[in-house]
Chains A and B, each alone.
Chain A
Amino acid sequence: MAAAIPLSLLVLLLLGPGGWCLAEHPRDSLREELVITPLPSGDVAATFQFRTRWDSELQREGGLSVLLKADRLFHTSYHSQAVHIRPVCRNARCTSISWELRQTLSVVFDAFITGQGKKDWSLFRMFSRTLTEPCPLASESRVYVDITNYNQDNETLEVHPSPTTTYQDVILGTRKTYAIYDLLDSAMINNSRNLNIQLKWKRPPENEAPPVPFLHAQRYVSGYGLQKGELSTLLYNTHPYRAFPVLLLDTVPWYLRLYVHTLTITSKGKENKPSYIHYQPAQDRLQPHLLEMLIQLPANSVTKVSIQFERALLKWTEYTPDPNHGFYVSPSVLSALVPSMVAAKPVDWEESPLFNSLFPVSDGSNYFVRLYTEPLLVNLPTPDFSMPYNVICLTCTVVAVCYGSFYNLLTRTFHIEEPRTGGLAKRLANLIRRARGVPLL
């Protein structure tokens, strides 16, 4: 989705001390938040599906949850939902705790489809709803719109209505600016009875490539035919001057028999020796291959990690019901501390917006990223599980059984051998033998 700028909607709802059962100060503890961010291309993530109570509970209450309209949310490129529950201290000495429930829903809208080919968006176009009133229970109800990179030059884009305040923070190593719309601010909604935030591009950005993250990866199967293949992972470090290490974790099913001696890692045309390799070979039908490597990615480079494999023949009951679809190979997992462009300050969790906690910062100079590459679909040599296959199997069995006897019949000749009487000595010996009751000669 390079052409479109998909929009990420992040709804964070936090029920603070008290939770849903105590309800001592419900009005003070509910915080809700909507963050709208244009994304760079190549967003791939796992999809979680949880069932939560919020749709029925919160739909009545107004606020941001009016936007959660199922038919719009399922017309998107991606969505994920999560629930986090954790204990939090009520006071400094932690004598009593309460529970914090956090529900998140991340949705990636395809702005190209919703905007009819333009990159403009508005709340109404995305959700077919506008915000009419703040949640009566909420103590904080805000909408954040990412307007980074564009505020130096006000000519390119326009947000309507214009925000009253902005908020700046360092997210994933870059400085971001957000326009804040506070729904509890009575002036915000009262003007026109609804709030429909819109973003318009004054000059459509023609050749403006979306900002590329410092670390991204791509994975594919190379080669053709059903005997061999190669798993290749491309790791991109687009940081202009900093090299950083990446931990690459691969789990490969046993039916792809990896040849570890073919493992090659090259960056910038040179061999790149990993500083740490852990390999646990697969056992047939018991455990997959596990390959873990710590690789140093040079600045501004592409590193190719490739390893060859052979496709195993499965037992015929081990094939899935749709064997010709191929077999999935799970994504590689990349974990890295990526250097930041801007140093991040340690933040006060209570004061800062909720979405900050989604991007943990280990220290000021770098941030932690875990990436999952795309899963792969690998075809294994598959017998034709159809009627002709069965017929062939059966016929071959019959032929194999019959062949022996037919060949025998065709080639064997029978001769009747006259019993020869033998010499005098033999006859004598037999006489003696008969008398002794021993088998004859």
Chain B
Amino acid sequence: MGLLSDPVRRRALARLVLRLNAPLCVLSYVAGIAWFLALVFPPLTQRTYMSENAMGSTMVEEQFAGGDRARAFARDFAAHRKKSGALPVAWLERTMRSVGLEVYTQSFSRKLPFPDETHERYMVSGTNVYGILRAPRAASTESLVLTVPCGSDSTNSQAVGLLLALAAHFRGQIYWAKDIIFLVTEHDLLGTEAWLEAYHDVNVTGMQSSPLQGRAGAIQAAVALELSSDVVTSLDVAVEGLNGQLPNLDLLNLFQTFCQKGGLLCTLQGKLQPQDWTSLDGPLQGLQTLLLMVLRQASGRPHGSHGLFLRYRVEALTLRGINSFRQYKYDLVAVGKALEGMFRKLNHLLERLHQSFFLYLLPGLSRFVSIGLYMPAVGFLLLVLGLKALELWMQLHEAGMGLEEPGGAPGPSVPLPPSQGVGLASLVAPLLISQAMGLALYVLPVLGQHVATQHFPVAEAEAVVLTLLAIYAAGLALPHNTHRVVSTQAPDRGWMALKLVALIYLALQLGCIALTNFSLGFLLATSMVPAAALAKPHGPRTLYAALLVLTSPAAMLLGSLFLWRELQEAPLSLAEGWQLFLAALAQGVLEHHTYGALLFPLLSLGLYPCWLLFWNVLFWK
């Protein structure tokens, strides 16, 4: 008894933790990684099942047969679009009205913080067109959305055609209980964001848009469609949304049900579902899919316009028609039937989708890992930080106790005064400076782009990216000299206190991230934890420095890009990778400003300063 307060046992326990610290850390780290890898094997991954009663047992017979009509609409749309060079708003309005919808338009404009070179846009203005199918005998309290994002290039016209043909078919039916909104947005995601903000009458991102004239109550679910050919070989489904949010698993199950019913070939992350989970091949293939999903989710960007709906608690996913070299092809009728089935079942919903999982990982379309099973992986990784922090704390404590021990029995309040006396004074400067670096990294690139373009021969977008990299690199040079400002008597304890604070800071951040976006938390933990645990100003410093640089957030991003392309079986060369890296940086900043993605502020204000602290520890003199 008195396991913690008995000084004898306490000391024994402390000695155990100190002595076994290194093996425990290694064990915990390995266990974390192994647990993650084991997620693809059957006891941990389970079959998906439909939880929502309203969608499970009801049978639906699809009657959509408007394939020709869809193709005709698509041809007309493409022709009009080519002629006008933008979204043919008048044609869309006319056509939607002719199929019997209540049609409205919304114009919006947005000046991006700096030119978007990937999508070639800066001052954006466009018009969204949407038609509402009012359900008979209903009071417009609930609705479903079918949306097609149209970008600047002339893709996705088949999706518009299918949307119109489906609208015409749906209009003739009498069973609708929820209104259906058919939405065509211009400038793909920007248009979707503008429409969603106007629909919910909020302004999150500084978009200027005209207010909506027609509404249809609370949106229950949404499906985004991307199709660029008259025939498809497979349908790819994207679930990852803004900031790694995921739709309810039941929506995915619904899609999968209709894929199976219609005999459609469906893929996840562009990968076919492995058939055999008992042998090693299935799980290995599942691991590839799982890693792709983790990378996508960690990026925090919306992969398709469905991703923006999730913020408003609208369950949504994107269906992408893929036309590859496979022999067997499906026409638009098959896709239309799947969509019709999905909408009819969503129409049956009595409540919002809430029965199934919101937090899950997918190693395949019909397999999932629930949150209870994947969280231990990141838990083990974070335990390393905890153990290291405990070790440091005890070393500091032990050092303090050494002075006091002759005095008498140490109580639990003993460790504080001596260790803090050293810690606080010397910690303030590095903490403040690294946080200031983070703030500069967050604010300066966008703020200073005009100054940069005046003094250097670069474009705005380049200026932002280069300023980002410059500030990032400057951070490496700055703070490791800061502690000289404060004179310390015990230099050893200085860095230990700093590392202790940094470890706890990192563990807290990673824990919070892992709760909201597991993939990001796990990826960051995998890379940052070993370097963070090893960093100290003695031993092979260059090795540690190299390791620390390799696992810094920016290097992580670069590594993720290479891993991403490797898993997609389209490996990158170094130069390509660098180009992609620069583009990804610009996109990250842009997405923060245009959609409110949180990855950029998280890295610049949270993890980068924290990482600088470890850098500081490494070069402590």
Contact = CB atoms under 8 A, between A and B. Distances in A.
A412 B2 CA distance: 5
B137 A324 contact: no
A213 B447 CA distance: 50
Given A224-B202, A374-B139, A377-B141, A412 B5 contact: yes
Contacts of B2: 410-414
Interface in B127-178: 134, 136-137, 139-142, 171-172, 174
B19 interface: no
A386 interface: yes
Contacts of A218: 215
A3 B103 contact: yes
A223 B312 CA distance: 8
A376 B200 CA distance: 13
B352 A75 contact: no
Nearest to B93: A207
B6 A413 contact: yes
Interface string A204-240: 0010000000000010111111100010100000000
B616 to A, nearest CB: 37
Contacts of B94: 206
B588 interface: no
B397 interface: no
B275 interface: no
A23 interface: no
A77 B141 contact: no
Interface stretch (A97-105, A109-117, A285-293): A109-117
Contact of B1 (A44, A110, A379, A412): A412
Contacts of B313: 224-226, 379
Nearest to A328: B141
B136 A413 contact: no
A377 B312 CA distance: 14
Contacts of A223: 200-202
A383 to B, nearest CB: 11
A87 interface: no
A266 to B, nearest CB: 12
Interface string B70-102: 000000000000000000000000100111111
Contacts of A328: 141
Nearest to A382: B354
A351 B374 CA distance: 80
B410 to A, nearest CB: 14
Contact of B136 (A3, A110, A324, A375): A110
B11 interface: no
A3 B100 contact: yes
Given A3-B102, A326-B218, A409-B1, A375 B174 contact: no
A224 B203 CA distance: 11
B118 to A, nearest CB: 28
A1 B131 CA distance: 10
A386 B351 CA distance: 14
A77 B171 CA distance: 12
A347 interface: no
A220 B174 contact: no
A138 B382 CA distance: 87
Interface residues of A, number: 46
Interface string B345-361: 00000111011000000
Contacts of A325: 350-352
B42 interface: no
A260 interface: no
B221 to A, nearest CB: 13
B354 A222 contact: no
B49 to A, nearest CB: 14
B312 A224 contact: yes
Interface string A313-357: 000000000111110100000000000000000000000000000
A113 B137 contact: no
B218 A377 contact: yes
A181 to B, nearest CB: 28
B201 A220 contact: yes
Interface in B1-39: 1-6
A76 B171 CA distance: 13
A375 to B, nearest CB: 5
Contacts of A47: 137
A222 B201 contact: yes
Nearest to B353: A324
Contact of A375 (B139, B200, B202): B139
Nearest to A76: B136
A142 to B, nearest CB: 29
A44 B99 CA distance: 22
A8 B206 CA distance: 44
A224 B142 contact: no
B565 interface: no
Interface string B335-351: 00000000000000011
A374 B143 CA distance: 13
A182 B172 CA distance: 34
A146 to B, nearest CB: 21
Contacts of A1: 102, 134
B171 A112 contact: yes
A326 B352 contact: yes
Contact of B217 (A3, A41, A377): A377
A375 B141 CA distance: 7
B215 A113 contact: no
A251 B241 CA distance: 37
Given A78-B137, A413-B2, A374 B217 contact: yes
Contacts of B215: 218, 220
Contacts of B97: 2-3
B415 to A, nearest CB: 16
A224 to B, nearest CB: 5
B621 interface: no
B311 interface: yes
A384 interface: yes
Contacts of A413: 1-2, 5-6
Interface string B311-343: 111000000000000000000000000000000
A392 to B, nearest CB: 11
B351 A411 contact: no
A4 interface: yes
Interface string B188-229: 000000000000111000000000000101100000000000
Nearest to B96: A3
B201 A2 contact: no
Contacts of B350: 322, 325
A77 B217 CA distance: 18
Interface in B109-139: 134, 136-137, 139
A222 B5 contact: no
Contacts of A117: 98-100
A1 B97 CA distance: 10
A78 B103 CA distance: 21
A409 B172 CA distance: 72
Contacts of B139: 44, 374-375
Nearest to B135: A77
A328 B141 CA distance: 9
Interface in B348-385: 350-352, 354-355
B4 A379 contact: no
21 contacts: A3-B102, A4-B100, A47-B137, A75-B174, A77-B136, A113-B172, A117-B100, A206-B94, A220-B201, A224-B200, A224-B313, A322-B350, A324-B354, A376-B141, A377-B218, A378-B218, A379-B313, A379-B352, A409-B1, A411-B5, A413-B6
Interface of B: 1-6, 94, 97-103, 134, 136-137, 139-142, 171-172, 174, 200-202, 215, 217-218, 311-313, 350-352, 354-355
The 7 closest A-B pairs by CB, nearest first: A222-B201, A413-B2, A324-B351, A77-B136, A112-B100, A2-B102, A325-B351
Given A379-B218, A379-B352, 9 more contacts: A4-B100, A44-B139, A44-B140, A117-B99, A117-B100, A221-B218, A222-B202, A224-B200, A224-B312
